[in-house]
Structure 1
């Protein structure tokens, strides 16, 4: 059974850095990824910069950051306004099943509407059943398959 908790979502602030780094490390571990510390530092810097299209939102439960989303906006060829791409969403294991992920997604939906962005989109691992259960409650997958060449 899931327990719904009062969750507050807001823009990340500089004082969230230490907690975000803890969650980021858990997120990378979940996906069995190792990143150069310079990439993590750059991600934080971009998320805090007004000059970057990347922005971070955090979800608080009882005054403690329990999850985050990292997104970016960009132009597109099939739309008039900006797209919003949700690149990363993570919830601390101790807060899962308490509405934190849904609160982060609801927040992004509201931001998209507020800013008149054309679309919100994201992808996840095919076998990430927990996330897919949440995501499927918003919209069906669009059937696209991702291809990626890394350099």
Structure 2
């Protein structure tokens, strides 16, 4: 993973006309929950409702590092980028982990996902974070095609052990 400050990102317009990206706010809860349900359905995952409640509460807690950026296309909630930063043993500074990225069906293939990633790159650079990283399903060809425009895969394989 290279230092985020040295990576230019893909070229192109910042996003489709009518796109706004901002931090999630308490009034966004219902719309976020709709998008979250779509995200979980896309991956075939069912979560206990208490986990979703807890996630939203953490997103709204200014003391928690978990944050959400929301994309609105023509005033309609269109996607989210959930992320958090953390200390790193590999660089002097913090890494930013893009944990969840999702774009609703009505907004796909319109540059929303790219704009959300570019938005997060801008935040990371402004805050002095050194690297941005994320994971995706190896079979998610559409996502991988987008991600390959930003950077190459670092070849790592993720292991996850439920405790």
**What TM-score does the superposition give when structure 2 sets the normalisation length?**
0.89
Aligned length, in residue pairs:
149
Matches within 5 A, 1:98-137: 98-137=110-149
**Correspondence 1:67 to 2:79:** yes
Matched-pair contact (CA < 8 Å) for 1:19–1:65: yes
Q: Deviations over 1:54-105 (max 9, x none)?
A: 0000001111110001001111111211110000000001100111101100
Once residues 53 and 108 of structure 2 are traced to their aligned partners in structure 1, the CA distance between those partners, rounded to angstroms, is 26
1:86 maps to what in 2?
98
1:13 maps to what in 2?
25
Secondary structure at 1:135 match in 2: helix
Once residues 146 and 43 of structure 2 are traced to their aligned partners in structure 1, the CA distance between those partners, rounded to angstroms, is 18
Once residues 85 and 16 of structure 2 are traced to their aligned partners in structure 1, the CA distance between those partners, rounded to angstroms, is 30
Once residues 94 and 22 of structure 1 are traced to their aligned partners in structure 2, the CA distance between those partners, rounded to angstroms, is 13
Once residues 115 and 25 of structure 2 are traced to their aligned partners in structure 1, the CA distance between those partners, rounded to angstroms, is 18
Matched-pair contact (CA < 8 Å) for 1:4–1:97: no
**What TM-score does the superposition give when structure 1 sets the normalisation length?**
0.96
Q: What is the CA distance between 1:8 and its match in structure 2?
A: 1.2
Greater RCO structure (CA 8 Å; 6+ sep)? 2
Once residues 78 and 140 of structure 1 are traced to their aligned partners in structure 2, the CA distance between those partners, rounded to angstroms, is 18
Secondary structure at 1:137 match in 2: helix
Task: Tell me which stretches of 4 or more aligned residues in structure 1 moved more than 6 Å.
Answer: none
2:59 maps to what in 1?
47
Tell me, which stretches of 5 or more residues in structure 1 are unaligned?
none
Tell me, which stretches of 5 or more residues in structure 2 are unaligned?
1-14
2:8 maps to what in 1?
none
